[in-house]
Amino acid sequence: MLEIKNVGWTLSDGAEILKDVSVKIGDGKLVVITGPNGGGKTTLAKVIAGLIQPTSGSIWMDGKDISNMDITQRAQAGISYGFQQPVRFKGLTVRELMELSAGQELDMDGLCDLLGKVGLCTVDYIDRDVDASLSGGEIKRVEIASVLARGTRVLIFDEPEAGIDLWSFNGLVTAFEALKDNQHTMIIISHQERILEIADDIIVMANGTIRLSGPKDEVLPKLLDSEVAGYCPVGRKVPA
């Protein structure tokens, strides 16, 4: 069980990015956080992974307060985080990144399994550097694979669909569903309906607060009726 209790994050200029956010995420659940840009989704994910220290509130995992754990300690405790904007490295190959993530050497079968899930042909990529030579879509897939390679109890993906083509996206949804069967807790920040559909629970964030949360079957219809229509012309009636 992951529990976020009354978390707030205020910038030095007084801007409140997160406002008293509280939520419980059960073991083995796939939770999708969605909502408009700037609503605090990525900030909340970074707070859970330890990349941002909140100004108030606490984070609990399995009944233990992990608020004072740093990034490394939280990673070692079983939290993985996939960056929305993947980081590039000169001199670190895809294979090396996968092995660092997995914490062990990987054979070709292991690499193919991982990279196949994100739609990358292993032979073409394992010896390439994770640097500027990879396109935005390629490096995003490598980033997702690095989180899958860790296979920890809590996996956080920040907009995994960004830059992914349709074919690979289908494979990615399948990979998320397979992990769901394995009782991993997944937190996915996404705007994609396909990902919303495989969620157990959906959290809608806006203006630094949780506007709506609950089981998918309850939240998704409301979201499609109100939230989407509020921000996107799709579904709106065209004025006569």
Partner 1 sequence: MNKITEKLLGIVAGYTGKFDGAFNIREDGGCAGRQSTENIKILPHREGKPGLEIHVAPGTRDERVFIPACVTKGDVDDLTYNDFYIGDGARVMIVAGCGVHTDDEGEARHNGIHRFMIGRGAHVTYDEKHIGTGTGEGARRINPVTVATLAEDSSLTMDTVQLGGVNSTVRKTEATLAARSRLIIRERLMTDGDETAESDFAVMLEGDDSGADVVSRSVAKGRSRQSFVSKLVGNARCTGHSACDAILADQAVVTAAPQLDAYNEEASLIHEAAIGKIAGEQILKLRTLGLSEEEAENRIIQGFLK
Of the pair 155, 205, the CB lying nearest partner 1 is at 155
Where residue 163 falls (left for φ over 0; alpha for ψ -120 to 50; beta otherwise) is: left
The least CB distance from residue 71 to partner 1, in Å, is 4
Choice between 126 and 198, CB closer to partner 1:
126
Report how far Cα 28 is from the mean position of its chain's Cα atoms: 15
User: Which residue lies nearer to partner 1 by CB, 83 or 176?
Assistant: 83
How far apart are CB 96 and partner 1 at their closest, in Å?
A: 7
Give 92 or 106: the residue with its C-beta nearer to partner 1: 92
Kindly state the DSSP code that residue 129 receives in the 8-state scheme.
Answer: B
Q: How far is the CB of 76 from partner 1 (least distance, A)?
A: 5
If the CB atoms of residues 156 and 196 are measured against partner 1, the closer one turns out to be 156
**Cβ neighbours around 157 below 10 Å, total:** 25
What region does 119 belong to: left with phi over 0, alpha with psi -120 to 50, or beta? left
Report how far apart, in Å, the C-alpha atoms of 1 and of each of 62, 115, 198, 227, 232 are: 5, 29, 20, 28, 34
Measuring CA to CA, which residue among 171, 176, 182 is closest to residue 32?
Answer: 176
For 14, phi and psi rounded to 5 degrees? 95, -10
Provide, rounded to whole angstroms, the least separation between the CB of residue 210 and partner 1: 24
- Angle at 211 (CA atoms; ends 205, 213), nearest 5 degrees: 85
Which positions lie near partner 1, rule CB under 8 A? 49, 51, 70-72, 75-76, 80-81, 83, 87, 89-92, 96, 100-101, 103, 146, 150
